[in-house]
Amino acid sequence: MQPDVVRQVKSNPKYHDLVAKRSAFGWTLAVVMLVIYYGFILVIAYSPTSLAAKVGAGATMSIGMPLGVAIIVSAFLLTGIYVARANSEFDRLTHEIVEAVK
């Protein structure tokens, strides 16, 4: 990019809005995922017997297995949430910034 175009983009208030919103949303989702993951690790460390409990009477599967799958699924869901917002709000703001620079 040419220096004057970069200067125009960086001086655009919508650019600052985009950067702030995208950063805050990304950090929020990262913290949510870390809480989910490290919460699971803390349960494994401090209360492993609670994860060893069976799903139901006569069941062979412990509650830890579906909980582990739920953690993996939550990562996919959080990624989908980010992509959905990026494709709508963040792309719209990016397009408005590009149009303003033209």
**24 in any annotated domain:** no
DSSP character string of 18-72: HHHHHHHHHHHHHHHHHHHHHHHHHHHHH-HHHHHSBSSTT--SBTHHHHHHHHH
**10 in any annotated domain:** no
The total domain count for the chain is 1
Per the prediction, the chain carries an average pLDDT of 93
Task: Enumerate residues 6+ apart whose C-beta is below 8 A from 80.
Answer: none
**60 in any annotated domain:** yes
Structural domain of 55 = 35-102
For 53-100, what is each residue's pLDDT tens digit? 999 888 899 999 999 999 999 999 999 999 999 999 999 999 999 898
**5 in any annotated domain:** no
For 6-39, what is each residue's pLDDT tens digit? 898 889 999 999 999 999 999 999 999 999 999 9
**99 in any annotated domain:** yes
